[in-house]
Amino acid sequence: MRGLRAAGWDVVGVARRAGRLEALDAEVGSASFAADLTSETDVEALAAHLADTGPVHALVHVAGGARGADRIEDGSPEDWRWMFEVNVLSAQLVTAALLPLLRDAAASDGHADTLFVTSTAAQTAYAGGAGYNAAKAGESMLVHALRLELGGEPIRVSEVAPGMVHTPEFTLNRLGGDVSAAEKVYEDVADPLTAADVADVIVYALSAPGHVNLDLVTLRPVAQSAQHQLARGALRPRGH
């Protein structure tokens, strides 16, 4: 939201915790709407609110997350259900609800955008990651299908897939609030991505000329050569 506001966008932030949204609104001049994007009722209310206050030129779907790091045989159905709901179901609900508004904006202004933040977990499985791998891969497949379904319409469909991003709550939520386990994940990793790094890509995707569709941008910290290969300690050129 900070990046888009700095680039001149009017932004409506959506999340469940109204207090955090209001603080951000005060800081960056955004507007907000508190909603649970896994709830059909909330998403309908969001769409009605945006229809009254729009136009809506872009949908950036960021809500998502991981719960648990268990092997498949030990996985909690509740965690898996949550991951499918927040990463996949919410993407479907919000896309379906906002497409009429995006089409209106595209009709009057030339084009509109949809952009989804998936993950490198959508591309490569890792032990203990299956629920999140499957949910993010599901969200990624929604993006692929949406681009085909919107063929012939001036609506861009983009996917941004980050590797390790050091945000305050993602790993904490995944590991059930265990602060020291969450800190260990990032321990001695030279410069994990930040939320601002991901935001830069989102801002670029939405600001590129209207005929340019960034299908998929994968970004990771240099220290993370692959989902399963993470260097800890300072990065040094060989021989130095």
Question: With binding defined as CB under 6 A, does residue 19 bind ligand NAP?
Answer: no
132 is catalytic: yes
CA distance 63 to 236: 35
Question: With binding defined as CB under 6 A, does residue 27 bind ligand NAP?
Answer: no
- Tell me whether residue 20 or residue 109 sits nearer to ligand NAP (CB atom): 20
What track of x and - describes contact with ligand NAP for positions 108 through 127 (by CB under 6 A)? Answer: ---------x-x--------
Closest distance between ligand NAP and the C-beta of residue 165, in Å?
4
Size of the residue set binding ligand NAP (CB under 6 A): 22
Cα dihedral 144, 84, 162, 181 in deg (nearest 10):
-170
Question: In the chain, which residue ranges form alpha helices assigned H by DSSP?
Answer: 2-6, 18-28, 40-53, 77-84, 90-109, 130-149, 170-174, 179-186, 195-207
Interactions with ligand NAP, residue window 163-202 (CB under 6 A)? 164-165, 167, 169-170, 173, 195
Question: With binding defined as CB under 6 A, does residue 32 bind ligand NAP?
Answer: no
CA distance 45 to 98: 11
Q: Which residues bind ligand NAP (CB under 6 A)?
A: 15-17, 20, 36-38, 62-65, 86, 117, 119, 162, 164-165, 167, 169-170, 173, 195
